[in-house]
Structures are given as structure tokens and as C-alpha cells.
Amino acid sequence: MCGIVGYVGSATASERPLEVAIEGLRRLEYRGYDSAGVALVGPGGSLEVAKKAGKLANLVEELDARPLAAATVAIGHTRWATHGGPTDANAHPHVSGKVAVIHNGIVENFHVLKDALLADGVEFRSETDTEVVAHLLARAYDATKDLTTAMQQVARTLHGTFTLLAVHADAPDTVVGARHDSPLVVGLGDGENFLGSDVAAFISHTRDALELGQDQVVTITPTAVEVTTFAGEAAEGRHYTVDWDAAAAEKGGFRSFMDKEIHDQPQAVADTLLGRTDTRGRLVLDEIRIDESVLRAVDKIVVIACGTAAYAGQVAKYAIEHWCRVPVEVELAHEFRYRDPVVDERTLVVAVSQSGETMDTLMAVRHAREQGAKVLAIVNTHGSTIPRESDAVLYTHAGPEIAVASTKAFLAQITAAYLLGLYLAQLRGNKYADEVTEILDELRAMPEKIQQVLDRAGRVREIARWMADTQSVLFLGRHVGYPVAMEGALKLKELAYIHAEGFAAGELKHGPIALIEPGQPVFVVVPSPRGRDSLHSKVVSNIQEIRARGARTIVIAEDGDEAVRPFADEVFYVPQTPTLLAPLLAVVPLQVFACELATAKGLDVDQPRNLAKSVTVE
């Protein structure tokens, strides 16, 4: 959730540390936050802090009104409130003596630690768990006179999830960080080095990055990066090059990041499909540490995810079961480990997460592995925790997704799930090579078809603007259209703050039809008439049922489907495509609709209220 930036540069004090910190925090605004702050250290032993509740603009105004001195080192933070409300006092950094600390996560044992500090006469100025860390670090530094050693000692006493960055007035050339179950990456520069919650924090300065492992401490100076364990043993990070540049994190002429990311989807799907076959045309995944014999013996697959990623998993269920003839369950990760799930060494657990840091999903991954299951991760972020703790990983290549509400990550996750299903079908002998190749060719045609949907979306936007005052919208779908309907409803809830529900169309007469009243807008995702004809006709019957009760029916159907026209107030047509691949097209008008309606209401579609991009606490 929280955004973290660290910088150390030239020994000559300048404005650059502050500029890097503020720029990095701007790039991390997509994570969701309610306060922001910076701490600067200069060569004369100075430590200065500025922090304000609210948006980053409030902090910038404060810095303009009361400028801080030039510096050599900076740390910056955008906070999502956990302990204590979003106030100036609770904003990070927190200071104890000459130490300043910023923190992402939750220190679960802070009450015990705080009680001990209070008993020793320490005074607290905030309601946060983080201030405990600041006081502990100050004490440890006084005893060791070394910030790295102090961080190692303190990290060993903390329980929970945390990324910490710290600076000390007596060390104007050093920033020290620590990570446990929370993201932190290093940016490697020339005469300067960087730290960030993710690479967006420093991407305009370097694309050379270092991936940190679990329970590691990193110390950066202008010319060196040292990685150690919490126990103080030497360790190494993994170097990698970021394959997108700063321009990818800018709006590129669109009104919002979300609008841009909706239009990025053809490329996101195409990039996720790239390089997936070997010289013999057989499918390969990014990183497999599971023996093929184990995958052949799998008798159940469980997809674990949250929110939009869970709906991607629902789509995956239909495809994988059809292609592989293996039962697939889709579980909300936060429910999975608390219900005593039945998994064993013949279960493959598929963890889906855009950030790779979703704490609910990470905890479910760990529980599954404890039960003997193998875990394969589908994630977008290289170097994140979930793929490192999984047995295999299939990376989506969607690039940075800045808007909090997911769009292109959803399509990339579905695409990756299709690849996984085809890989397993190939490996297990459920599909012949030519059948896999045929489906891959159909997948490779999808980016162009998605672009066609976007090119036709003008009427969707008109309807969204016309419906800006709508208070409730229902979504219906069957088969793979059902999770599409739920995702369409979720997008509208996230962005427009209005009531929206997605239902399986077959459930309509079992209760939800009671919601239908004159003028009620209902989106209906209609399956292809070229597939199971009975399914198509049943959905058309559903449209007739709700239309007869006064609903305003807005239908998504494939080109050539004239059977829906007599019963629809509006029809948005998408290109013909195989049934199992249809979600990649059908969801796009729903994304456009939600984005446009929220924009028409004057809402911030990139940072919806109460939401954060990456949920890194349970």
C-alpha cells in the first residue's frame, strides 16, 4: 500500500535528494495513500522532516512555504493509515533523536514493544506502530554507532509485515532498508543509488535494479550497495533490467491512467503471449521448479486470488477444466487458509496477483505449501514475494498498472491462465500439438480484436455519460460471461461508488429478478450463438424476462447475432471469437463504461476512495 522512496547521492548538498523523493512519490501515488512526508540529511549532521496529511500536493505546498535545507540523502513516504488516523502527527517519517524512519506494513507486536519503551520513560508523539521502530533504532544506533547493525538488531525483534527505511543525522551518505513480507527494490545508479516500493519510484533515473530476498537488510551509499541478512550475514540480491521506461508510467495523452491502461490492453495481451514457445513450437513457462511428472499427476487445481484477480481465476476455471479435464476450484485467498482446505501433494495451487505482494494471497500460498501442494504464481511484478515463494511462475507482461482499479492486468491474467491451461493440456496429453497450436493462433488474434472493441466504444461512452446519475446497475452473464458480469459490477462499484451486482443469468428467476423495476439498467453478456445454442437461447430468454418488467437492457453480443436486437435497448457488438476466449473482448466495454461514467460524475478514476493498489496487509 504505502509508497517508499530512498535516495543517496553526491557528498555535496543539493536539491536533488528532495527532487528525487518527490518525483518518486508522485509515481507511487497509484498505490493509494492518505498522507505524505520526507526526511532529508545533510553533510553537516542536519536532519529535517516535513509531512502532511492528505495528498502529496499538501506536502509540496508545505515545502514551498517552509523549504528544507539542501541535502545528500532523502527518504520519502506516502502512507495508508493502519495504526492511527490520517493526521500530520501520524504521517511518516517518524523521528527519534537523530533517526528518521518510514514503514510499509504492520508491526503486530508493537504493543509489547511500546509498553517496554513507555516503562523506560520514552514519550510518543503519534498513534502509530512505526514510531516504536524509530525509538528502537535510535537506541540500537546509540549502542552500536552503525545504522546497518542497528537495523539488523531491530528487524529481528519485529513481528508482522514490514519494509523499513532509515536515515541518521550522523550518516549523511547512507540509507538503510529492511524487508519482511513487504516489497523493496534497489535502483543502481552512477554515483547515486535508490530504494523504492517498486521500480516506478526510480525508473526515470535507472533501469538497473536489484531484487532483495526475504528478511534482508540493504545499505546504500553513493557508490555501494551492501545486502545482509537480519542475522548480519553477507547476502546477494539478484540483478535485473527493468523492461519498461518512465514513459510507460505517464498518461500518454489520455485523461487518466485508467483510460490509458484500457487502451494498453491489446499490447498487454500481445506481450503476455510473446516468447511462450520453444524451437519445436511447444509451450514453455517462465520459471518452472516443478517436475513434469508431478504436474502430470495433479488431480485438482485450486486458484487463489482476491478481487479482480479472482474473477480472472473464474474464467481460467472454465478453460482449464475444458482443456485438461481436471477439476478446478476458485478460492478467495483470504478465506482459503481459514477453512481447512483439502489440498495435498497432488494439488496444484495457482496464485494470481498483479503486484505479487497481496498479503492475503501470500499467506494462502504459504499455507498451501505447508500442506504439500505445489504452487504456481501468475503475477505482473518481477522480484515480488509471491513468485519467489512459489514453485513456478508465469509472468504477465502488462507493464506498470498505475490506476488502482485493475484493467489490463485482468486481461493479462486471463491470457496467462489460458497459457497455463494449454501447457498442462500439452504436458498431460489432453490436447494434440496441432490443437494447442490452433488455440494459440486464436489467442494471437485477440489483440487486434480487442483494439476493434476499443475503436467501436464511442457509443459505450455516450451511454455512460447519459447514465451518470444512475444509482444501481445490474450485470448478467452465463458460462464465461458470469465472471465478466461480476468484474463489470466490481469496476462500477470501485470507480463510480454506486450499487452494482453481477449475477449468473440462470439465477435470475431464483431471486434477483425481484430487483427489476421500470428503468433499471441491466447489462447482459450474451454467449455466442455459434457455441452451445441452448445457452444462447436461454440468455435471450433472460433478456426478454427483464425487458418485460421494464428493465433497460444493454447487451454485449458478438458480430452477427441479430437474435438479441428485438429485446435490447442497446447492443454493443464485439468480434466473433471462440467461446472460452470471449471474456477478453466482452469485459472491455464494461471497463470503458465504468471509467466514463465515473469521469462524468467528476470522480478520480485513478485513485478511488478507500482503495489501494496493492493490499500488503491482511
Question: d(Cα 227, Cα 210) in Å, to the nearest integer?
Answer: 10
User: Which string of DSSP letters, residue by residue, matches 158-188?
Assistant: --EEEEEEEEETT-TT-EEEEEESS--EEEE
Instruction: Write the Ramachandran bin of 307: left for phi over 0, alpha for psi from -120 to 50, otherwise beta.
Output: left
Neighbours of 435 (CB within 10 A): 14
Strands 521-525 and 552-558: parallel
Query: Contact 187/87 with Cβ under 8 angstroms?
Result: no
Question: d(Cα 156, Cα 178) in Å, to the nearest integer?
Answer: 10
Q: How far does CA 431 lie from the centroid of its chain? A: 33
Q: Quick check: helix, strand or coil at residue 204?
A: coil
CA atoms within 13 A on the CB side of 135: 19
Query: Contact 580/604 with Cβ under 8 angstroms?
Result: no
User: Which string of DSSP letters, residue by residue, matches 512-553?
Assistant: GGGG--TT-EEEEEPPPTTS-HHHHHHHHHHHHHHHHTT-EE
Q: Quick check: helix, strand or coil at residue 189?
A: coil
**Catalytic residue list:** 2, 613
Closest CA to 404 of 241, 183, 594, 206: 594
| 435 φ, ψ (degrees, to nearest 5) | -70, -45
Question: d(Cα 290, Cα 317) in Å, to the nearest integer?
Answer: 21
